Chain A
Amino acid sequence: MTSTLTVLRAGPGVSVQDGGRPGWLEYGVSRGGAADRLALAEGAALLSQDADLAAVEMAGMGGEFQAGSDLRIALTGAPMRASIDGAAVAWNASHMLPAGARLAIGAARSGVYGYLHVGGGIQTQELLGARSAHLAAGIGSPLAEGDELHTGPDSGRTTGLGLAADDRFEGGTVRVVASLQTALFPQAELERFEGTAFRRGARGNRMGVPVKSDGGGFRPDGARTVVSEVIVPGDIQVTGDGTPYVLLSECQTTGGYPRIGTVVPCDLPLLAQAAAGAELHFRFIPLEEAVELERVEAERREGLRSQCYPLIRDPHTMTNLLSYQLISGAIAGEEDVL
C-alpha cells in the first residue's frame, strides 16, 4: 500500500536523503546522501525494510507532517521531541501514524541530524540514480510547507519497535587513518593534533564542519603546494589559517588543501552529529585496524533488525509475567516507553 506524507511545516534544513549517488565522481558530483548513515540503517531495521529507501533528514529542527492514509514511521538519529496529535512518542522507535493525524517533531535535544522514515520509503524523483537532495550540486531542494511526498509500497505491518540508541550525539573521540598528505605534517604537529581538545565550529553544514581549538593552527612542513586530488567524506582538510575542516557527505569532489588525515567511515556519524561546541578528539589508528572496524560495523548494521524490541510488551509473550509488580504505579498501557 502506498500513501502520501504532507509537509505542514518544515525547519530550514529538512530534505529527502538516502544512501546517496555513488558513481559520478568522474563528473564532479560527490556521493552525498544522509549525513548519518547509521541512522538510515536503524530506520530500515525498525521498519524491516531496505536501508536504501529514502527518508526525511532534519538538521537541528524538525517540522509537522500528516499522512494521507495510515503510515508506518520510524524516528532515528539526533533525538528530537516528537508527538502524534499531541501525545509524545518515543525516539529511535517505529510507530503508526494514522491518516490525518499530525506528527510534530521539534528541535534536537542533542546531536544535529534527526530522521523520519516511512514504510515503503519516500518516492521523490530519482536523479542520477538516487532521490537524495544534493543542495551543493543543485540537485533537489529543501522540503517546504505544502510539499506532498509519495511513499512507496509497504508490505510491512509491524510498528511499536524500539532500538537502543547508539550514543553518538555528544561529541567524543573519532578515529583517523593517514591520508594523502599526512606525511607533509611534521610528527610534532601530528602529535599536537592528537592531543588537542577541539570544539565543533558553528559554521558547519552537510558539506563539512570546521573544528576549532584554543591552540594555534596546524601547518604542513614548508610552503608545499599540493596538486588538487580526489576528496572523500571524512577527509580533514587544513585550510589556509590552519583550521582543520572535516568533509561530510555533500563535500566537493577535489581539493588542493593538504589533508592531515581521514576519519574512518564508522566514526563519521559521531562527527556529523556533533552539535556546535561539542568536544571532539582525533586519534590515528593503523589502516589494518580501520579495515577491521569497518568489517565489524558492516556486520553490526546487518544485525540491527534482531536488536529491535517491542515498546509495549504483550503479556502473552512475557514468560516471567508473575515476577513483575503489576499493581502500583499503574499506567494506561498505551504510552510508549520513553
Chain B
Amino acid sequence: MAEVSAAPPVPEIRTVGVDGMLISFGSRLSEPANRAALAFRAALARESWDGVEEVSTSLVSAYVRFDLRHLDHAALRARLEGLLAQRDWYAAALPGQRRLWRIPAVFGTELAPQLPQAAAAAGMSEAEAVASLSAARVRVQTIGFAPGQPYLGELPEAWDIPRQTQLTTRIPEGALAVAIRQLVLFSVAAPTGWMHAGQTAVRLFRPDAEEPFRLRPGDEVQFTPVTPEELQGLRRDPLGGAKAEALI
C-alpha cells in the first residue's frame, strides 16, 4: 500500500490560453494552498513587472495575464520561478486590511427552502444546522464566477456534502448556498447545484457605486440569524444590515 505523503504540494506553473500563466498551489482546496495563492497574488501585484496586464486568484492558484509584445513565455516563467523560490508561500500570512463582516440571514423558511435537505445531508437537525452555520466564521477564499461573489470556507467537516446533480433553475440574489464545506453568497440570480439554506439582503455588486464590490479575498464573514420580517426591514439598506469591522 502506498504511503500517504504529508509533504506539502509543490507549486506548479502552467499556461492558460496563449497569454496567461497559472501558478497552482494544489490540486484540491486546502487552507494552506488558498493562503499561498492569495499571498502570491499580492506579491505579484507588488512586483508589477512590465508587460503583466492582470493578476487574480482562484481557490488555490494565482493567474497572470501578460502582453506577448513585452514579455515572452520563457522570461515570465523564469521570473515566476524566482519569486516562488523566495519563500514558503504555504506559510504566508493572510492579506492585510482584512475585515470581519456580520451579515443578517434568514435560515430556512420559504425564503431558503433547502435548509432541511442540507441539514439532512450533513446529518444534523435543522436547529443544529442553523447553529452550526451561524457559528462558523468563514473566510472569502476567492471571488469569482459572478461579480463580487465569494466562495466562503471552510465549514466544519460535517458540511462536506455534495452538490445536487439536478440544478435549481434560479436562486435569487443574496442567497446563501452550501456544499463541499463551502458557502456561496450569490451576487446575481443564477441557476446552481448548491443548496439554498439561507437568504440575505446584501447587495455584493453595485456597478455604479464608488466601491462596486463589498467583499475582498481574505475578509471573514459570519451570518447572524434573523426572522423573515427582520430581513424585510433590512431590504431598504443596500448593505442588507451587514456590518464590517477591521481585523487586526
Report A's interface with B, CB cutoff 8 A.
22-29, 125, 127-128, 136-139, 177-180, 225, 227-230, 232, 234-235, 252-255, 262, 264-265, 287, 290-291, 294-295, 298
Provide the bound-state CA to CA distance between A103 and B157, in Å: 62
In chain B, positions 141-175 with a C-beta closer than 8 Å to chain A are: 142-149, 151
Provide the bound-state CA to CA distance between A234 and B58, in Å: 18
Indicate whether B20 reaches chain A with its CB closer than 8 angstroms.
Answer: yes
Count chain B residues whose beta carbon lies closer than 8 angstroms to a beta carbon of A: 46
Can you report 24 residue pairs joining A to B where beta carbons are below 8 Å apart? A27-B212, A28-B145, A28-B146, A28-B187, A128-B212, A137-B146, A137-B207, A138-B207, A177-B15, A178-B15, A180-B16, A225-B28, A227-B26, A228-B145, A230-B16, A230-B20, A230-B56, A235-B17, A254-B58, A255-B145, A265-B18, A287-B15, A291-B68, A291-B72
Instruction: Report which residue of A228, A230, A262 has the largest number of chain B beta carbons within 10 angstroms of its beta carbon.
Output: A230
Tell me how far the C-beta of A76 lies from the nearest C-beta in chain B, rounded to whole angstroms.
24
What DSSP secondary structure best describes chain B's contact surface? loop
Provide the bound-state CA to CA distance between A5 and B65, in Å: 36
Partner of B208, one of A22, A23, A127: A127
Indicate whether B22 reaches chain A with its CB closer than 8 angstroms.
Answer: yes
**Is there contact, CB below 8 Å, between A229 and B58?**
yes
Give B142's nearest chain A residue, CB to CB: A254
Indicate whether B217 reaches chain A with its CB closer than 8 angstroms.
Answer: yes
Provide the bound-state CA to CA distance between A87 and B188, in Å: 45
**Is there contact, CB below 8 Å, between B147 and A138?**
yes
**Is there contact, CB below 8 Å, between A234 and B56?**
no
Task: Enumerate chain A residues within 8 angstroms of B146, measured Cβ to Cβ.
Answer: 28, 136-137, 252
Instruction: Report which residue of A27, A128, A138, A178 has the largest number of chain B beta carbons within 10 angstroms of its beta carbon.
Output: A27
**Is there contact, CB below 8 Å, between B17 and A179?**
yes
In chain B, positions 1-51 with a C-beta closer than 8 Å to chain A are: 14-20, 22, 24, 26-29, 41
Task: Enumerate chain A residues within 8 angstroms of B89, measured Cβ to Cβ.
Answer: none
Instruction: Report which residue of B26, B188, B207 has the largest number of chain A beta carbons within 10 angstroms of its beta carbon.
Output: B207
Indicate whether B63 reaches chain A with its CB closer than 8 angstroms.
Answer: yes
Partner of B144, one of A23, A178, A254: A254
Partner of B19, one of A136, A180, A254, A294: A294
Indicate whether B69 reaches chain A with its CB closer than 8 angstroms.
Answer: yes
Indicate whether B73 reaches chain A with its CB closer than 8 angstroms.
Answer: yes
**Is there contact, CB below 8 Å, between A27 and B188?**
no
Task: Enumerate chain A residues within 8 angstroms of B92, measured Cβ to Cβ.
Answer: none
**Is there contact, CB below 8 Å, between A232 and B20?**
yes
Provide the bound-state CA to CA distance between A291 and B66, in Å: 12
Q: Given A227-B60, A253-B145, are A295 and B16 neighbors across the interface (CB < 8 Å)?
A: no
Provide the bound-state CA to CA distance between A247 and B147, in Å: 17
**Is there contact, CB below 8 Å, between B145 and A232?**
no
Give B215's nearest chain A residue, CB to CB: A27
Tell me how far the C-beta of A265 lies from the nearest C-beta in chain B, rounded to whole angstroms.
6
**Is there contact, CB below 8 Å, between A137 and B22?**
no
Tell me how far the C-beta of B227 lies from the nearest C-beta in chain A, rounded to whole angstroms.
28
Q: Given A22-B54, A25-B63, are A229 and B212 neighbors across the interface (CB < 8 Å)?
A: no
Provide the bound-state CA to CA distance between A294 and B66, in Å: 13
Indicate whether B59 reaches chain A with its CB closer than 8 angstroms.
Answer: yes
Task: Enumerate chain B residues within 8 angstroms of A287, measured Cβ to Cβ.
Answer: 15, 18, 73
Provide the bound-state CA to CA distance between A232 and B148, in Å: 18
Provide the bound-state CA to CA distance between A262 and B18, in Å: 8
Give A224's nearest chain B residue, CB to CB: B27
**Is there contact, CB below 8 Å, between B61 and A230?**
yes
Provide the bound-state CA to CA distance between A228 and B22, in Å: 12
Give 19 A-B pairs besides A28-B147, A228-B144, A254-B142 with Cβ atoms closer than 8 angstroms.
Answer: A23-B53, A26-B143, A27-B148, A128-B212, A136-B146, A137-B147, A137-B188, A225-B28, A227-B58, A227-B60, A228-B59, A229-B24, A229-B61, A230-B144, A235-B17, A252-B145, A253-B144, A255-B145, A294-B18
Instruction: Report which residue of A138, A225, A265 has the largest number of chain B beta carbons within 10 angstroms of its beta carbon.
Output: A138
Provide the bound-state CA to CA distance between A253 and B16, in Å: 13
**Is there contact, CB below 8 Å, between B54 and A25?**
yes
Provide the bound-state CA to CA distance between A11 and B72, in Å: 43
Partner of A294, one of B59, B60, B68, B148: B68
Give A26's nearest chain B residue, CB to CB: B56
